[in-house]
Structure 1
Amino acid sequence: MASDLDALKQLNESRDIMLKEVGKVIVGQEQIIEQLMMTLLARGHCLLVGVPGLAKTLLISTMARMLDLKFSRIQFTPDLMPS
C-alpha cells in the first residue's frame, strides 16, 4: 500500500511539473491542458476543435516536446470529421 501512495505522490508531482512547464508556453487553457494530460496517461485519443488562434497546435507540440513524443498534425476537412 505504501508503494501505491508513493506512486500516486510521484504522479501528482510530475503532473504539477508538467502544468508548470506547459504554462510557460501556453497562457490560460488550464482545463484543456488537464484533459489532454489525462488522455495521454490513459493512452487515449484527443480531437481538439476550435477557432484559429487558440494555440491548439502549439499546445500539442509543446507537450510532445516536453514528453519526448513524436508530433504530427492532421488538418481535418469536412470529409474527415467524425459524424
Structure 2
Amino acid sequence: MKAAALVHHEHSRGDVDGRQLNPDELVNADLKHSLPKQHRARDQAELAAGTRRFFRRRPRQPHIVRGYFGGPHVRYVLDENPMSF
C-alpha cells in the first residue's frame, strides 16, 4: 500500500494512538505524515514551502478530504452540510 493511501486509511478511521481526532487534527496529522522524512526542512522557508505544496494538492484529492470526515465521531459534519461533499 502506498504511503499516501496508508495515511488516508489510518486517518479515515479517525483513530490515532487510541484517540479520536477531529477533522482539523486529522489534516494536521496528514500534513506531518506527508512531509518528507528523508529530507527535513532546514529552515522555516523550506517548511513553509512543503506545507503550501500539501495544501495546494489536497483540493485535487477529494477522496482524501472526504476521509477526514469518514469516522462516526465526525459524521455529523456531513449530516449537517450534505451539499459540502
- When normalised by structure 1's length, the TM-score is 0.35
More relative contact order in 1 or in 2 (CA 8 Å, sep 6+)?
2
- When normalised by structure 2's length, the TM-score is 0.35
Q: Which has the larger radius of gyration?
A: 1
